[in-house]
Amino acid sequence: MEERILLVDDESEMRKLLRVCLSPQGYLLEEAPNGEEALNKITKDHYDIIILDIMMPEMDGFELLKKLRNHLDNQTPVILLTALGDTERVVEGLRIGADDYMVKPFEPKVLIARVQSVLRRSKKINKPNETYIVKDLVFQPSRYQVSFNNNVIPLTKKEFQIFQRLSSNRGRVYSREHLLELEWGMDYEGDNRTVDTHIKNIREKLKATNYHEPIIETVWGIGYKVLDEK
């Protein structure tokens, strides 16, 4: 079955560029020139991924993304299109629930790789208590346990929760703010350094168990991700 992609951008030239990049890959592409039309399409049809521009008149990408995550559908992957150097908007989009982002202008091959990666991740969503393996690490969510070569890595419950969140959504970037909100709740009064400390502890405990393969990557100025498997 061919995968369906919705392209949402108020600039016709950008939609044309996206179509030129993605059509040869065999995707079924539909377009929406604004948030309202995109919303109408999303309520009527299923899409495997949405490529969404942030800067649009009337209903911008953030407003559409909020409606998508809070009211309509919490599963369809979303890649945001953003301007160069717009870090704050990227962080906000990831916090709301975007799966990835592309900075304009972009290389077509990078866009294709990002789309393929996000689609691949969306098909690998693990059941909450299912044992799974990521880069030779064995995750057992029902026991809050990660092991390597049959050696249990002594993570605290919160460290495990963060690591599981990242590992079960490989390649997806999580901002520090989003991780705080997900794992500590919206009422938590600590700061972003709490997340950094937990990530540092996870890395040190992995090394202490003789696991030296790169796995948690820092996305500078934004947050963290677990490297996607090729």
* pLDDT tens-digit map of 89-125: 888 888 888 888 888 888 999 999 999 988 887 765 5
The CA distance from 124 to 113, in Å, is 17
The whole-number average pLDDT for the span 194-215 is 93
By three-state DSSP, how is residue 208 classified? helix
Backbone torsions φ then ψ of 76, nearest 5 degrees: -60, 125
Report percent pLDDT > 90 for the chain.
Answer: 46
The CA distance from 19 to 14, in Å, is 9
Q: Is the pLDDT of residue 144 over 90?
A: no
What are residue 52's DSSP bridge partners?
8, 80
- Is the pTM here over 0.75, yes or no? no
Q: Find out whether 118 and 169 touch, Cβ atoms under 8 Å.
A: no
* pLDDT tens-digit map of 4-46: 999 999 999 999 999 999 999 999 999 999 999 998 898 888 8
The CA distance from 14 to 22, in Å, is 12
For residue 126, the model assigns a pLDDT of 46
- Could you tell me which residue, 203 or 100, shows the higher pLDDT? 203
Neighbours of 209 (CB within 10 A): 17
- Domain 132-226 adopts which CATH fold? Arc Repressor Mutant, subunit A (1.10.10)
CA separation, residue 150 to residues 146, 210, 226 (Å): 9, 12, 21
For residue 1, the model assigns a pLDDT of 52
Phi-psi region of 143 (alpha: psi -120 to 50; beta: other; left: phi over 0): alpha
Q: Is the pLDDT of residue 71 over 70?
A: no
Going by pLDDT thresholds of 50, 70 and 90, the confidence category of residue 194 is confident
Q: Where are the domains of the chain?
A: 4-122, 132-226
Question: What's the CATH number of domain 4-122, 3.20.20.70, 3.40.228.10, 3.40.50.2300, 3.40.1410.10?
Answer: 3.40.50.2300
* pLDDT tens-digit map of 162-174: 999 899 888 888 9
